[in-house]
Structure 1
Amino acid sequence: MDSNAYIGNFNVAVHLDLLKIGKHSSIARGNWITGFPTNTDSKHFSHQKDRQSNLIIGEHSAITKNHHIDCTNIIQVGNFVTVAGYSSQLLTHSINIELNIQDSNPITIGDYCFVGTASTILGGAALPAYSVLGANALLNKNFTTPYRLYGGNPAKEIKELPKEYKYFNRETGFVY
């Protein structure tokens, strides 16, 4: 934890290789953060020699309440990000039905992103910097165009967002 970082009450974080929280960032309360450690003799994920069970949160970012964050693979949350509302799921692992194995892929959330309530982000997905993921969206692929609203099930680009929006130009993470 870096300076002025905060972890609230009733969070559970188990089986992680690394939990890193940047300056002025927070994990509110009631979140379930899990991983699958790399220092095990389990057959699960044995084909992924470089897999890391990490949650890395940048500076001035916030994960609010009651989310499920599966860090079987790396979840990278950028600077000035808000994972808002309740009940979002970030899930890095699943079953590969073609090969009949447990498999995992990283999740990336770019700088200055807003993730709406009850969203699901799957392994291999990326939300580009300066983007909004609408409430109840399913992000299941790697988007690359910034300054966009993404939403739906599965998520798609909905519209361009102005670069002048104050959320995208903050110098402190706290939103009044």
Structure 2
Amino acid sequence: MLKKLITFLLPWGLRRRLLHYWFGYEIHPTARIGWAWVFPGKLIMKERAKIGHFTVGIHLDYIELGKYVSIGRSNWITGFPSSGKSKHFAHQSGQRRSELIVGDHSSITKHHHLDCTNSIHVGRFSTIAGYQSQFLTHSIDIRLNRQDSIPIAIGDYCFVGTNVVVLGGAKLPSYSVLGAKSLLNKAYDKEWGLYAGVPANLVKYMDKDYQYFTRQEGFVF
């Protein structure tokens, strides 16, 4: 804990070096973490990746942010490490990894909650937009009376609207949109779709010439 407090208070250049020396984190010289409490078991941040102020990332095995990934301020990213002797998730021993992996040029805006008890994978050029969305990989299995967890997958070139709920086992296919305030609770496989509603369903297909789906930079002007 003392080492974490020391690194948190230091200027970024020195903090980055100590994060590598003390914790083994792999942070590219052009990557940056703001005044954020981010201490997973292992951290990889590639070129120009950044994490904004007041974001918390704790109790995870692994976080990997690809090139030019942006995680905004005040996000809450938590999990339940796969190591240890806890009875929770013992039935998934060797099958579960508490991790967040975000592909190149993708972004997570601000004030979101990502429960990474199991894996959350966000593909390339995708946007978790707006505010107050929840990604929940774990819940209680009432049939077996135990906590259970299932991964969440967001494909490449996806746009996730504000204030959504995404549950364990959900998959948003590449080149898809999830409408604001929707509940995604199952795995879909049809690309180029607009998914919306509670629960979300395929509403319509979108034209493949939309410029969002063909851009070569993550930032949307």
TM range (shorter): over 0.9
Q: Which has the higher helix share?
A: 2
Partner of 2:34: none
CA distance in 2, matches of 1:170, 1:109: 18
Higher CA-based Rg = 2
Q: Name the CA distance, whole Å, in 1 between partners of 2:156 and 2:145.
A: 35
Tell me how far 1:27 sits from its aligned partner.
0.3
Q: Which runs of 5+ in 2 are unaligned?
A: 1-44
Aligned residues: 176
Please state how far the C-alpha of 1:40 moved relative to its aligned partner: 1.4
CA separation in 2, counterparts of 1:97 and 1:40?
24
Q: What residue ranges of structure 1 are gaps of 5+ in the alignment?
A: none
Please give the alpha-carbon distance, in whole angstroms, between the structure 1 residues aligned to 2:146 and 2:84: 17
Q: What amino acid does structure 2 have at the position aligned with 1:94?
A: S
1:6-155 matches, cutoff 5 A: 6-49=50-93, 50-155=95-200
Bigger relative contact order, structure 1 or 2 (CA pairs below 8 A, ≥6 apart): 1
The alignment's C-alpha RMSD in Å is 0.4
1:39 positional shift: 1.0
**Taking every aligned residue pair, what percent have the same amino acid on both sides?**
60
Q: Secondary structure at the match of 2:212?
A: helix
Distance in 2 separating the partners of 1:40 and 1:101? 18
TM-score (norm 2): 0.79
Alpha-carbon shift at residue 75 of structure 1 (Å): 0.3
Deviation, 1:160, is: 0.4
3-state SS of paired residue (2:213): helix
Length-normalised TM-score, structure 1:
0.99
Cα distance, 1:96 vs structure 2: 0.2
